[in-house]
């Protein structure tokens, strides 16, 4: 099946050398065609993640991501299927979908194995869905690593960031008391979401002890910056500490490091349903046109985003109006 809208070319974000956001370019290419066991997605929105700029910067990383030049960019995406391969069943042109495809997401079109896709609930915008893949899977995996329940008092570091804000809210949905570190400008947001805010930085250990005299029962670290050492100093057992950010601390201490690789499409569907029904929220910090992708990464590298940063394509009319 072929799309109703006929286009002559497709844009994608690429980098041909390593460096800062200045290495990102917009490349025109022929519109890709799916193989018989693939579908094509007309991308509306694509998330911006810190791992993206670590990859295009060329800096050493602990995870063994393959890197070669030239390369596409981005991982998270949401859009609408506009062509299906001849052997595809269960998917159709017009289906709203989201997922992840590393080095391909920031583009007008991508082709993908549909087993990697998740349907976007009717009440969820494509902007939010396009930001969900990495943070959603990571948050679910982190919370599940500690089997968080009503008996827990959980400290979540970076509770206003993309991973942190979902992690903290998932703990709330499980009945736990949740204390989250964040800058003061995000404290009211956290309170509204049922999270007790604490300012990070100097004096944090004393603030945690004052707020939780008996100490947290679990610590979920999403930003690093000494959170693991703080948790152990507070007396939290190492097996009840999970970090998705501090690889060095995992080498020094027997803490856990369960991240997004431990969650799949079923977990993404679950968290998308929670977002669609309004049980949890994923704030969108800023939305940038694909042509302004460099600005999106400048914002990400600054490190002060609340929630997620998203780039949108010319196919994002629905995403803009509903998100």
Query: Is residue 276, in this structure, part of any structural domain at all?
Result: no
Q: Cis (ω within 30 of 0) for the bond into 175?
A: no
**CATH code (residue 194):** 3.40.50.720
Same domain (yes/no): 188, 123: no
pLDDT value of residue 317: 59
Bridge pairing between strands 39-48 and 109-112: antiparallel
* 155 membership: H or E segment, kind and range: strand 153-157
Helix (H, G, I), strand (E, B) or coil at 118: strand
Residue 319: predicted pLDDT: 47
The verdict on 108 and 202 lying in the same domain is no
- Gap between the Cα atoms of 291 and 26, Å rounded: 7
Angle 47-51-57 from CA coordinates, rounded to 5°: 115
**What pTM did the predictor assign?**
0.93
Query: Residue ranges of the chain with pLDDT lower than 50?
Result: 1-5, 318-319, 321-323
Same domain (yes/no): 109, 143: no
Burial class (CB in 10 A: 0-12, 13-18, 19+), 14: buried
63, 48, 77: which is closest to 302 by C-alpha?
A: 48
Residue 115, domain extent: 10-132+282-322
Same domain (yes/no): 114, 185:
no
Residues 128 and 140 both lie in one domain: no
Look at residue 73 and tell me if it is in a domain.
yes
Number of domains comprising the chain: 2
- Number of other residues whose CB lies within 10 A of the CB of residue 164: 30
Distance (Å, rounded) from C-alpha 276 to C-alpha 278?
5
**CATH number of the structural domain spanning residue 87:** 3.90.180.10
Q: In what helix (H) or strand (E) does residue 100 lie, and over which residues does it extend?
A: strand 96-100
pLDDT at 296: 98
Give me the pLDDT at residue 114, please: 98
| Edge-to-edge strands, sheet with 177-182 | 196-199, 177-182, 153-157, 218-221, 241-243
285: left (phi over 0), alpha (psi -120 to 50) or beta: alpha
Is residue 4 a part of any domain in this protein? Answer: no
Within a domain: residue 32? yes
pLDDT tens readout for residues 47-92: 999 999 999 999 887 776 888 999 999 999 999 999 999 999 999 9
Q: Residue 10: count other Cβ atoms within 10 Å of its Cβ.
A: 19
Q: Same domain for 86 and 111?
A: yes
The answer as to whether 151 is a domain residue is yes
């Amino acid at each position: 099946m072929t799309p109703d809208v006929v286009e002559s070319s497709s844009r994608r974000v690429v980098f041909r050398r390593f460096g800062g956001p200045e290495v990102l370019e917009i490349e025109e290419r022929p519109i890709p065609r799916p193989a018989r066991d693939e579908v094509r997605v007309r991308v509306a929105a694509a998330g911006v993640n810190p791992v993206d700029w670590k990859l295009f910067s060329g800096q050493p990383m602990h995870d063994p991501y393959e890197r070669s030049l030239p390369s596409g960019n981005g991982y998270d995406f949401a859009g609408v299927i506009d062509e299906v391969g001849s052997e595809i069943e269960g998917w159709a042109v017009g289906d709203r979908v989201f997922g992840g495809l590393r080095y391909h997401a920031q583009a007008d079109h991508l082709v993908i194995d549909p087993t990697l896709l998740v349907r976007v609930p009717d009440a969820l915008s494509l902007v939010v869905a396009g930001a969900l893949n990495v943070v959603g899977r990571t948050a679910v995996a982190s919370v599940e690593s500690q089997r968080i329940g009503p008996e827990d008092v959980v400290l979540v570091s970076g509770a206003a960031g993309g991973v942190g804000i979902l992690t903290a809210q998932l703990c709330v949905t499980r009945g736990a008391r949740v204390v989250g570190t964040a800058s003061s400008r995000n404290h009211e947001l956290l309170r509204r979401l049922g999270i007790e805010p604490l300012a990070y930085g100097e004096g944090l250990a004393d603030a945690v002890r004052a707020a939780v005299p008996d100490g947290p029962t679990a610590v979920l670290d999403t930003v690093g910056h000494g959170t693991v050492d703080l948790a152990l100093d507070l007396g939290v057992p190492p097996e009840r500490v999970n970090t998705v950010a501090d690889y060095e601390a995992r080498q020094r201490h027997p803490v856990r490091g369960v991240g997004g690789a431990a969650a799949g499409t079923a977990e993404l569907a679950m968290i998308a349903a929670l977002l669609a029904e309004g049980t949890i929220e994923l704030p969108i910090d800023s939305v940038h046109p694909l042509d302004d992708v460099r600005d999106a990464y400048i914002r990400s590298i600054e490190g002060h985003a609340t929630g997620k940063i998203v780039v949108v394509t010319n196919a994002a009319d629905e995403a803009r109006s509903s998100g």
